Amino acid sequence: MALTIPEREVLVTANDPVEDAFFAASAAVPKGRRVELIEGQIHVTPPANGEHEEIVSGVNEQVRDHRRDLRLYQGIGLELPGADLTERVIPDLVAAPKRSFDAEVEWHQPHAVVLVAEVTSKSTAENDRVKKLSGYARAEIPVYVLVDREEGVVSAYSEPSGGKYTRNEQVALGMKLTLPKPFDFELDTADF
């Protein structure tokens, strides 16, 4: 199998060997794979399966139906404050006001983000449950929706303070989960 040059170009320079390796990996992996830098470790994940994308689409549709003022993004890169290095993640879904992100850069500040959502896969579940939970809280993203397929639960983390979410509402997958402000609607997980 020959390695091809990806269609995108990563133009960011780093001052750290881990970041240098991250940017090199980002430029070299085949299109469709996600490369993330989480707590100093580089994670490369394959494209999602159909069930994963059905769930992401279900969350997307319901948020869109209740918050027409927000734009929903899939595949957008976010820079999060990390313990040592800046973390670079690509959430399954991001909700932010329209025109919140500069079209010319690949990695964006999360200041305008009001919701992120992740759907676990066997290869990403621990990152989604622990590491990304911490990163999103440190970035003070108001709501983090985690659909944990392996555990069969859906969580809405909110009220970030001091690098942690102080509130967590959780239901079994298939039930309705009330999303906190600024959403205030029931996410019907049976729709997934």
Task: Give the separation between CA 145 and CA 168, rounded to whole angstroms.
Answer: 10
Per-residue model confidence as pLDDT tens digits over 28-38: 787 778 888 88
**pLDDT score of 174 more than 70:** yes
From residue 24, alpha-carbon distances to 14, 92, 143, 163 in Å are 10, 23, 32, 30
The residue behind tokens 């108001």 is 142
15 vs 68, more confident: 68
Per-residue model confidence as pLDDT tens digits over 75-98: 899 999 986 778 999 999 999 999
The domain covering 48-191 belongs, at the CATH homologous superfamily level, to tt1808, chain A (3.90.1570.10)
**pLDDT score of 42 more than 80:** yes
What value, to the nearest 5°, has the Cα angle with vertex 64 and ends 62 and 182?
A: 90
Task: Give the separation between CA 68 and CA 87, rounded to whole angstroms.
Answer: 29
- Three-state helix/strand/coil letters over 37-67: EECCEEEEECCCCHHHHHHHHHHHHHHHHHC
The whole-number pLDDT of residue 41 equals 82
The residue behind tokens 């990390």 is 82
The whole-number pLDDT of residue 28 equals 78
The whole-number pLDDT of residue 11 equals 40
Give me the count of residues in the chain: 192
- With bands split at pLDDT 50, 70 and 90, how would you rate the model's confidence at 15? low
Q: Are 24 and 11 in contact (CB under 8 A)?
A: no
- With bands split at pLDDT 50, 70 and 90, how would you rate the model's confidence at 6? very low
Q: Are 27 and 6 in contact (CB under 8 A)?
A: yes
